[in-house]
A and B are shown apart, each in its own frame.
Chain A
Amino acid sequence: MKDGTAGERVLIVVPVFNNESSVSGVLAGVAALGLPVLVVDDGSTDGSPAALDAFPVHRIRFPENRGKGLAIRRALSWAEERGFSHIITLDADGQHSPGDIPRLLDKIREAPEAVIIGKRDFGRGVPGGSRFGRRWSNLWIRIASGVSTPDSQSGFRAYPVRPLSRLKYLGSRYEFEVEVLVRAVWAGLPLEWVDVSVRYFPPAERVSHFRPLKDNARISWIYTLLVLRRMIPFRRRSAPPGSSPSDSYGNRAGHAVFRWVIGKLGVRPAYGVLVPVIAYYVLFRPSAVRAAAPYLRRRFPGRGGLRMLWPAYRHYFAFGQCLIDQAATNILGREGLRIDFPDADALRELSEEGRGLVLVVSHVGVWHSALSTLDYLKRPVYLNWRRERHSQSMGLTDFRKTGVEVRVISPDGFLGGIPELSLALTHGRIVAVMGDRGHGSSAVRSEVFLGAPAGFPILPYHLAFSTNSDLVVFLTARTGPRRIFLRAAVWRMTEAQRELGKDRVCRELLRWYVGELERHVRDHPFMWYNFHGIWMREEDIPRQGRGVES
């Protein structure tokens, strides 16, 4: 058995506590797979330690029993130190069958960043307790994380090591296996499931150390703590590095509440709930004000200190409304959405020429909904975009329901996805690229925006120039409850322009884009949500853009 999939290195982890009767069978089954194995002996007092000697496994021993949660957390750090990408945990009581491990390995290859749960087939012959227990903890998990999971109690799982070993945990016993799921979702990791078989022994035979009363109490306590924690939107210290401020707006509890309100009561009551929440943000979250300040100071010059609070409030309130409208579209569908799009026909005519088209989009208004209105062009749209955390939980990630065929090309891919984007353009596809924020290493050039030099990516213009495609600056604004206004400014790429050379044309295109963006934020001051610091200090304005020759 190869040691995992493309680039993934997998470690099998078996927590053991007085499982002398079953551990040998489990380890024999695991050994057949030829993968490295770590056994965490959680203070066993029976024959388990002796039974382990027969197997070539790595071993960690706790002098006394400290709980399965702690055993797994210890295994996570052990695996991280040795560069394992994933660990697969299975119980030593023989409930999980090693033969199912290849299924988890396939899933790891498919979704390397996901937590994968072995969903037990609760057919016949399973004690009532387990089924009830499962449904009960699934419900708590849904409330705490907004993600529904069919079998949150199964201990047969695959964990991505690096993202999980950085989080902080409270639970040390069984409740850990619940807590790790919630924190994984909070950290933006998707949950995946694979069907696994389950062997249940008659009650007499099954060696379980689950103490019904005490451990259920601990689980309930951890649930309450997590749900409470979620409801209070104070800053979580554990936001992963490199995430932009706008990534962590509100957290899952807040989003789940809003989604519940929108679904049940509609958007207006949801706006009502927004009032106190935004007030709290603006008053008690200095980071929020700090993120919006660069823009607001330049958009409303001459207002300092406290007088900046009101524009900040209106800005975040508008942003909250946009998120609510976007969620409403996802939940209620597009019927209630009213669209004013004067340039719609011009864009269709351009699109019908069948040439490649670069759509320069920006973090304005509800740009996800705007993109989804493009289904009338009946052409696949390639979107160069990295999903942010907050958009994931607000259901902004998938465009499936909207009828427009969007193919997300991640900027973290090969050469930032540029080969694919150029290929799509040369075959007459629409490629949407962010105009107001570059991802990763893409080249940036400075242009005066709202009176001061700011850094803008030039990838859209490079792509258009090298593939001889036209460009459209596609801007949107929320003009009322579930009402959006769309604007498409068109730039025809002509032979004459191409003779001017790439640098000249890209500079002119950037100036054109920034001009359009500036006019848009003049008309709709609170519609721009790029809370990155794009304005530059003097010293780090690049002499000439670090272009990526595509």
Chain B
Amino acid sequence: MKPVGIHGVGTALACGAGVDALRIALREGREAGRSEVGLEGLEDFIPANRTRRLDPLARMALLAACLSLRDAGLRPDEASGRPTGIVFGTALGPQESTFSFLEDIIGSGDACASSFAFTNSVHNLPASNMSLALGIRGPMRTVTAFGHTTAAALLSALHWIREGVVERVLLVLGEECSAVMEYVVRRFGGGEGNVRPFAPGCTYRSRGGCAAFVLGGGDGPYGRLASVEAGLSEAEAAERAAGSDLLLCAAAGRADEFNLYERLWASHRLVGAYSPVYGSLPTGPGVDLAVAALSLRERTVFAGPGGAWIKGSAVSGAEGLLPGAVAVAGVEGPGRFTLIRVERR
């Protein structure tokens, strides 16, 4: 089976834009708190007049994509140099545009619905805007399947690369946080303070953020995607994760997640949940994949903020433990797990 490597990582999160901002936040244990995802950096990559019509989710996704390309040593205009595909995974989709379209209808009447808002409210527009801004003409797939999103997106990317449909895939996973969603989360019992994975009560807070990856054949500086498995039972996930040095749980403060992940972390020596750094995201496993890649590249187990640790050593820094394989676990649904293993020899 042809190895698929992670060649570039780009993140646009509450802790800042770029993989360096994520590394600093992980190393210094900074919490996302209520800070917004800064999108100003997009102009350094794409001139403003070519991104004027993009809504916040499309902007965030494009920024993360450009950052991942730069991390892989590519300028935006070099993205289309080789056959490249785009996979965009989002659970909640473009909410700003959806609700501003409704605002128009309700506020100004049926005939006054904005075509900009309607266009942007179609879920694959972030991916289309990436193709326009970066001139990418390969295959495209936008996945919106809640808990299954991350695994489904990765499986598509793996297939295209292994079957030679493309040489590279720009994989972007992310969420936009609208006022409506904040209200919904509050009504569901989401907390005001910081996200605490496995906390007794619900500390889930709707937060936006994107993680982007440049995937390609052969090992990358971050290692390779050793396996991506979906629909695993709890026992199967625990067994698959057993062989890795570090297990990351995409726990993000939901009230019931202790029972969901209990068997997984009980059988594991080193466990981390970094949602306090980037906030609660339904595509959390996507950001955890970025953290896994960083841990492998830096040969480091990041301590993360106080709430990030369940079990394991608080040691971090270059001379810390030497992870060779990191597993990322996410809950797809009742009794179903996604398990992604990233390895770097």
Contacts and interface: CB of A to CB of B under 8 A. Distances in A.
Contacts of B321: 6-7
A413 B312 CA distance: 8
A497 interface: no
A420 B311 CA distance: 7
B324 A2 contact: yes
B310 A5 contact: no
A414 B313 contact: yes
B73 interface: no
Nearest to B299: A2
Contact of A420 (B245, B310, B345): B310
B101 interface: no
Interface string B258-270: 1100100010011
Contact of B200 (A2, A6, A426): A426
B303 to A, nearest CB: 12
Interface residues of B, number: 23
A483 interface: no
- From A1, A6, A380, A426, residue with most partner B Cβ within 10 Å: A6
Given A2-B322, A6-B245, A414 B258 contact: no
Contacts of B217: none
Nearest to B344: A2
B242 interface: yes
Contact of A423 (B242, B310, B313, B314): B310
A107 B309 CA distance: 26
A110 B311 contact: no
A30 to B, nearest CB: 16
B323 interface: yes
B324 to A, nearest CB: 6
Contacts of A7: 321-322
A142 interface: no
Chain A: interface size category: 10 to 19
A466 to B, nearest CB: 13
A6 B270 contact: yes
A453 to B, nearest CB: 35
Contacts of A380: 262
B245 A109 contact: yes
A427 B258 contact: yes
A419 B322 contact: no
Interface in A164-217: none
A419 B200 contact: no
A508 interface: no
B200 to A, nearest CB: 4
A413 B242 CA distance: 17
Interface string B94-105: 000000000000
Interface in A1-42: 1-2, 5-7
B245 A419 contact: no
A407 interface: yes
Given A2-B324, A423-B198, A427-B200, A110 B243 contact: yes
B259 A109 contact: no
Contacts of B245: 5-6, 109
Contacts of A109: 243, 245, 324
A98 to B, nearest CB: 16
Contacts of A414: 311-314
Interface string A415-451: 0000110010011000000000000000000000000
B270 A407 contact: no
Interface in B86-116: none
Contact of A419 (B258, B309, B323, B324): B309
A419 B266 CA distance: 12
Contact of A2 (B199, B259, B269, B345): B345
B322 A110 contact: no
Nearest to B256: A427
B224 to A, nearest CB: 14
Interface in A367-419: 380, 407, 413-414, 419
Interface in A507-534: none
A419 B311 contact: yes
Contacts of B323: 6
Contacts of A121: none
A340 interface: no
A1 B343 CA distance: 12
A106 interface: yes
A414 B310 CA distance: 10
Contacts of A1: 345
A157 B14 CA distance: 49
Given A110-B243, A423-B198, A413 B270 contact: no
Nearest to A408: B266
A266 to B, nearest CB: 36
A110 B309 CA distance: 21
B200 A407 contact: no
Given A7-B322, A109-B243, A423 B258 contact: yes
A132 B104 CA distance: 85
B96 to A, nearest CB: 36
A2 B312 CA distance: 22
Interface string B197-219: 01110000000000000000000
Given A2-B324, A6-B245, A427 B311 contact: no
Interface in A231-263: none
Contacts of A110: 242-243
B316 to A, nearest CB: 13
- From A2, A413, A419, A427, residue with most partner B Cβ within 10 Å: A427
Interface string B305-327: 00001111110000001111000
Contacts of A6: 245, 269-270, 321-324
Nearest to A102: B345
Contact of B259 (A5, A106, A427): A427
- From B198, B270, B311, residue with most partner A Cβ within 10 Å: B311
B320 to A, nearest CB: 10
Interface string A355-376: 0000000000000000000000
B276 to A, nearest CB: 15
Interface in B174-204: 198-200
Contacts of B311: 413-414, 419-420
Contacts of A413: 269, 311
A305 B63 CA distance: 84
Interface in B324-343: 324
A423 B309 CA distance: 11
14 contacts: A2-B324, A5-B324, A6-B245, A6-B269, A6-B324, A7-B322, A106-B243, A109-B245, A407-B266, A413-B311, A419-B310, A426-B200, A427-B198, A427-B200
Given A427-B198, A427-B200, 8 more contacts: A2-B324, A5-B245, A106-B243, A109-B324, A413-B269, A414-B314, A420-B311, A427-B258
Q: Which 8 A-B pairs have the closest CB atoms?
A: A427-B258, A6-B245, A426-B200, A407-B266, A6-B321, A420-B311, A2-B324, A414-B312
